[in-house]
Amino acid sequence: MSADMNEPRIPSWLWRIVLKSSTDNIGERGTRTVLRRSGLEHYSGVTPKDDDTPSVSVNEFSQYILALFDIFGENGARPILLRAGKIGFTFAYDRMPPTIKVASKMLRILPEKKRVVTVVSEFSKAFNETLSTAGSVTEEEGKVVVEIPDCPHCRGFSTETPACYVEIGLLSQLIEAAVGSGYTVKETKCVATGDPVCRFEIEKSQS
């Protein structure tokens, strides 16, 4: 599968983490099978760099995710992608705008909800810049809502249920770093299911 070199590309560190998460869950043989199914067999046995170097295109990345769903189903794909998102946040944190770190460590005098909105907004800006997306952050009825109309992780394929577990993992760890536990992140709309946007709702867990 050829890729347009002008197309936005996934940072090598994230591609590396997704492949490692796959191998940890389904083994090297399983990962090779997914790579073949998605037309990325040339990555078999190759460890991507642990840096910001561009790697696979967003379309190639989405094809890898589709192959995970096709071969292992949602129950098999979910833990791989959630884990990749959570581990990815740890790596990405050092590369995020200073505002996120300040909000999570220094601005504890702000109301908790304000801190959540601040860190999610800054994360969305960084996500948009890195992957050439047009995501937005709003507040609706006590929830913080992230919408991505051109989500790079599920474009070009369809599923019966929302598929963007990498984003869920990233956002979950982001919120935990900023304000601690006690929040849920749920994808209520997904481009892969036919919706015009991928929509993530962040809200305080019901105690």
Q: Give Cβ neighbours of residue 61 (< 8 Å, ≥ 6 apart).
A: 10, 15, 18, 152, 153
The Cα 177–Cα 80 span in angstroms is: 21
Summarize pLDDT for 71-105 with one digit per residue, the tens: 999 899 999 999 998 888 877 666 655 555 555 55
The model's pTM: 0.84
- Do 21 and 83 contact (CB within 8 A), yes or no? yes
69 vs 88, higher pLDDT: 69
Joined together, the tokens standing for residue 14 give 């994230």
Joined together, the tokens standing for residue 56 give 């696979």
pLDDT at 134 over 80: yes
- Do 12 and 61 contact (CB within 8 A), yes or no? no
Summarize pLDDT for 24-56 with one digit per residue, the tens: 999 999 999 999 999 999 999 888 998 888 899
